[in-house]
Every structure is written in C-alpha cells, then in structure tokens.
Amino acid sequence: MKAKNILFTGPPRCGKSTLIHKIVQKIDISATGFFTQEILEKGRRVGFSITTLDQKKGILAHERIKSRLRVRKYGVNLLDIDGIAVPSMMPSISDELVVIDEIGKMECFSKLFKKTLEGVLDSNRPVIGSIAMKGDRFIQKIKERSDVLLVTVTPQNRDELVKIYLEFNK
C-alpha cells in the first residue's frame, strides 16, 4: 500500500532537503510547495530562505530580523511564512503533490502554517516533506499520524531513499 504522506527526518545537514529535491525532479506529477535553504554570507550561515516551487522567494528567519519569535540567534519572519510558504501548500489541482520543507520550530510559530499543514495532511493530496527530529507536541503529533510514513535520513541512506521512494510510489 502506498503511503499518502511521507515525511523525512534526521539530524541537521543529513540531506533531507537534497533528497526531496531529487525526488521532486524525478517524479512525473505536478507539485506545489516550498523549500527552505540556508542563507550564507562569507561562508557563514546568517538565516534561512523560503523558495516556492513556482519561484516565489522570502526569508524564513535571519539573524538581523528583530522579532520576539526567535530560534537561537534567528528572528522568525511570520509575514513570509504566512504570505509565501503557506499559499504554496494549497494545491490548485486534485492530484498535485504538496512539498513541505520543512516542518520545524520556525515554521510552527505560524498558526496559519499549522492549520494549513493539518488540512493538507487530512486531504486526499499526497505530501512529501521534512520534519524536525525533535519538536514540541504539535510536531510529535504530526509524526505519529496514522497517515504519515516517517523515514529517517542519514548520509549513508539518503541516495538509496530516492530509489526506494520512486519504487514505492509507482
């Protein structure tokens, strides 16, 4: 039986986002959603960006953002989460794959993100995404859903997981 919602977890920098990128490039169905990526300045991480599959861009968090919502040194940007990431999670056609990279503490500061995530997971549309290894009750609840297949990514298995995903979801 195919898993409708597949979420990859693992330690930071283990290759979750790269794995999802590779899968999205190899599948032959329409997809919507977003990716997050490190923002580097002179080789140093200073924040995280949001890029939707239709190339809208925003800032997820940055060390220069003044916000009461913080994860370590990064101020979280709710405006771009709610205005860029969340709309990208809403499919426009019935069989569209929803890509959510990632479900983590920064994204979950947004009530709209959490509500939209639950709605998409409850829908008949397939979801592929990444989720934090550790997290609050909301993140744990998402990982424990009966319609979610949780897969742990390591540097050793990440390349093989592309093939496994594609075979599993034929």
Give the C-alpha separation, 33 to 1, whole Å: 24
Q: What are phi and psi of 123, to 5 degrees?
A: -75, 180
Question: Which residues, at least 6 apart from 137, have a Cβ–Cβ distance to it below 8 Å?
Answer: none
Q: What is the CA radius of gyration of the chain?
A: 15
Q: What's the distance, Cα to Cα, between the start and end of the chain in Å?
A: 11
What is residue 103's predicted lDDT score, i.e. its pLDDT?
A: 97
**CATH code of residue 65:** 3.40.50.300
Dihedral in degrees, nearest 10, Cα atoms 85, 154, 15, 155: 180
Reduced 3-state DSSP string for 90-104: CCCCCCCEEEEEEEC
What is residue 3's predicted lDDT score, i.e. its pLDDT?
A: 66
pLDDT tens for the chain, 170 residues: list them. 456 899 999 998 899 999 999 999 998 889 999 999 999 999 999 999 999 999 999 999 999 999 999 999 999 999 999 999 999 999 888 889 999 999 999 999 999 999 999 999 999 999 999 999 998 999 999 999 999 999 999 989 988 999 888 877 76
Instruction: Give how many domains the chain has, as a whole number.
Output: 1
Using CB atoms within 10 Å of the CB of residue 41, give its burial: 0 to 12 exposed, 13 to 18 middle, 19+ buried: exposed
| Range(s) of the domain holding residue 102 | 5-168
What is residue 1's predicted lDDT score, i.e. its pLDDT?
A: 42
